[in-house]
């Protein structure tokens, strides 16, 4: 539906410009160049993450909310705004480095459709009212500024709803948790983008196009800083994942066990409505939940700690938490690892999810398929390991253990995730939680 509306708007805008020409081409070119520069500096989004392009978003808003340029009334309408945004986004995407352009087929359609719809929404709300004089004389100040702020709030809400919808179509996660996730992130970089867009429009109204480079330079530097921040966070996550593989390299757990548990835990967390820093803590704790096994003299067959005595599980969990505290990750991650052996009623929700995801992977031997596959068939599992069970049998066994070990709601969320296609990777990016803000525009 959203793609169809965006396509109709794009075609209508192109047809309108072909018939009537481009109104005030100098202004259109200046704002188009601004949006294109912002898009060219944008990096491809990781699965489940939001890639910031604040300069491009601010340029889109400023052009849609532009009523005058140096005291002269602008004559571009909504359809021309759509065409300029469409052309500038495509040009900026084409100008990105070759290594980033490989991701364009996956991410560009949704990003382009959202840009067009948000620009059209802002322009439709602003242009007719401004032309009719509804906001009042711009020189009056207060009423006009209040009008712009209200319009920006509606536009930001529209963008948030659309972003959640596109993420829903791309990941298959429930819409409600994704929308809450987007709403939590909105006050971060989104507020700066909105403010910059308004300031750009007001500055061009008074000073003309010379105001664009003055107000766009700080936001461009912010965008470049965000790119470096994303790189640091990616490196940090890779470091954590490498540390988690120590148990696999030493032969304590099957290959890929930590990654499978982390992917499944994050998917279940999203299913249960977690977002932001909670998902990051959940991922890191799931990656390192078995790190305490390095203290064992005799490895557990198959690395399956779920069937060990409660006292031994508790000892391994405490040792793992002690190791995690030495890595520099937030204390919340260590708490989740330490609480793995507690009755689920005494655990935080993140620990309950990790425990259930780990038990499921232990039971299925990392296959999760309908037909059982011997765990000893896995190259990293010892011959003494228990034979894996089928996915339905594993879920039934988890349901039978809901008296002490597993929360029923977590088990049912796991069942829904598996029913939708299993454990597709759903790694979150850093957000407004323990690892700092994530951009929302």
pLDDT tens-digit readout, 272-327: 888 778 888 999 999 988 888 887 766 776 666 666 777 878 888 888 888 888 87
pTM: 0.71
Task: Give the distance from CA 140 to its chain's centroid.
Answer: 41
| Mean per-residue pLDDT, 112-141 | 76
The per-residue pLDDT for 306 is: 64
Q: What is the DSSP string of 283-318?
A: HHHHHTTTGGGGG-SSPPGGG-GGGS-HHHHHHHHH
The per-residue pLDDT for 436 is: 37
Helix (H, G, I), strand (E, B), or coil: what is residue 381? coil
Most trustworthy range by pLDDT among 87-91, 95-99, 371-375, 403-407: 87-91
The answer to whether residue 371 scores a pLDDT higher than 50 is no
The per-residue pLDDT for 437 is: 35
The per-residue pLDDT for 99 is: 66
pLDDT in tens, 174-189: 788 778 878 877 777 7
Task: Give the distance from CA 158 to its chain's centroid.
Answer: 17
Superfamily of domain 245-419: Hypothetical protein af1432 (1.10.3210.10)
pLDDT band for 246, please (50, 70, 90 cuts). confident
Query: Two tokens at 112?
Result: 């382009």
C-beta separation of 395 from 415 below 8 A: yes
177 contacts: CB under 8 Å, gap ≥ 6: 270, 271, 272, 273, 274, 275
The per-residue pLDDT for 374 is: 36
Q: Is 374 exposed, middle or buried (0-12, 13-18, 19+ CB in 10 A)?
A: middle
The answer to whether residue 343 scores a pLDDT higher than 70 is yes
The per-residue pLDDT for 191 is: 76
C-beta separation of 293 from 313 below 8 A: no
Instruction: Report residue 366: phi and psi, to 5°.
Output: 80, 5
Cα separation, 177 vs 156, whole angstroms:
18
For the chain, the structural domain boundaries read: 2-235, 245-419
Nearest to 435 by CA among 281, 268, 296: 281
Report the run of H or E that residue 69 belongs to, with start and end: strand 68-69
Q: Which residue has the tokens 């294109």?
A: 36
Q: What is the DSSP letter of 428?
A: P
- Give 389 or 83, the one with higher predicted confidence: 83
Task: Specify which residues 72 forms β-bridges with.
Answer: 69
pLDDT in tens, 201-234: 888 888 888 888 888 888 778 777 877 877 888 8
| Mean per-residue pLDDT, 61-66 | 90
C-beta separation of 54 from 439 below 8 A: yes
- Give 312 or 87, the one with higher predicted confidence: 87
128 contacts: CB under 8 Å, gap ≥ 6: none
């Amino acid at each position: 539906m959203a793609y169809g509306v965006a396509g109709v708007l794009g075609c209508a805008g192109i047809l309108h410009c072909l018939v009537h020409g481009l109104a005030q081409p100098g202004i259109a070119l200046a704002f188009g160049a601004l949006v294109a520069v912002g898009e060219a500096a944008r990096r491809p989004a990781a699965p489940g993450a939001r890639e910031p392009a604040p300069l491009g978003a601010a340029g889109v808003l400023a052009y849609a909310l532009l009523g005058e340029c140096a005291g002269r009334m602008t004559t571009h309408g909504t359809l021309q705004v759509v065409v300029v945004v469409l052309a500038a986004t495509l040009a900026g995407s084409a100008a990105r480095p070759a290594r980033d352009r490989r991701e364009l087929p996956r991410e560009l359609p949704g990003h382009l459709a959202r840009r067009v719809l948000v620009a059209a929404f802002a322009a439709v709300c602003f242009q007719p009212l401004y032309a009719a004089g509804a906001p009042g004389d711009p020189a009056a100040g207060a009423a006009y500024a209040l009008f712009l702020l209200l319009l920006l709030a509606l536009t930001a809400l529209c963008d948030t709803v659309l972003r959640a919808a596109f993420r829903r179509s791309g990941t298959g996660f429930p819409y409600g948790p994704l929308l809450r996730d987007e709403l939590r992130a909105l006050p971060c970089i989104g507020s700066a983008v909105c403010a910059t867009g308004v300031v750009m429009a007001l500055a061009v109204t008074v000073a003309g196009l010379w105001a664009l480079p003055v107000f766009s330079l700080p936001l461009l530097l912010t965008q470049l800083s965000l790119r470096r921040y994303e790189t640091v966070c990616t490196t940090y996550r890779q470091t954590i994942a490498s540390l988690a593989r120590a148990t696999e390299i030493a032969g304590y757990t099957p290959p890929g066990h930590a990654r499978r548990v982390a992917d499944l835990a994050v998917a279940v967390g999203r299913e249960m409505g977690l977002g932001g820093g909670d998902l990051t803590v959940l991922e890191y704790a799931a990656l390192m939940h078995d790190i305490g096994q390095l203290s064992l003299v005799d490895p557990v067959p198959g690395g399956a700690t779920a069937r060990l005595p409660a006292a031994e599980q508790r000892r391994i969990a405490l040792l793992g938490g002690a190791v995690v505290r030495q890595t520099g990750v937030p204390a919340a991650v260590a708490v989740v690892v330490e609480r793995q052996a507690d009755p689920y009623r005494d655990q935080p929700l993140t620990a309950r999810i990790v425990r259930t995801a780990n038990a499921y992977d232990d039971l299925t031997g990392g296959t999760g398929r309908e037909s059982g596959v011997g765990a000893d068939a896995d190259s990293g599992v010892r011959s003494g390991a228990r034979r894996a069970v089928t996915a339905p049998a594993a879920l039934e066994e988890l349901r039978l253990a809901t008296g002490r070990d597993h929360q029923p709601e977590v088990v049912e969320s796991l069942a829904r995730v598996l029913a939708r296609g299993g454990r597709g990777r759903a790694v979150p990016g850093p957000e407004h939680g323990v690892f700092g803000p994530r951009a929302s525009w």
